[in-house]
Amino acid sequence: MERRRANRYSLRMRANIHALGASAIMQPIETWTRDVSAKGLFLDMAEPFAVGTRIKIVLELPAEVVGNPVLLHCVSRVVRIVEKEDGTLGVGAVIESYEFVHPGNA
């Protein structure tokens, strides 16, 4: 059964993941998005976060797309983990809030 409420777009962007809350002591993880929507993202990951974990995802939107380089900071919550055939993991996260930040102000 399809649960998504927003259109998904296949978009591969570098993502830096920062754990929030009790897991915040972890080092940021660099990974890639597989697809994005207005409500969430799906990320390729080597190690999962537990479902329910709150994370901060930082995406760099390219100047070719938005005119000037800009960072998108998303506070998100992990809602699903998918084990892929190649042994890697996919992590689905819903966006709770976001903010656009110019790189010089980050």
| pTM for the whole structure | 0.82
Run of H or E including 66: helix 63-66
Domain 10-105 has CATH 2.40.160.60: no
> Is the confidence at residue 41, as pLDDT, over 70?
yes
72: Cβ–Cβ under 8 A, 6 or more apart, which residues?
58, 59, 60, 61, 98, 99, 100, 101
Residue 60 banded pLDDT, cuts 50, 70, 90 = confident
Tell me what percent of the chain is helix, strand and coil, each rounded to the nearest 5: 10, 55, 35
Percent of the chain with pLDDT over 90: 48
Provide the pLDDT for residue 67: 81
User: Hunting for tokens 């998904």 — which residue is that?
Assistant: 8
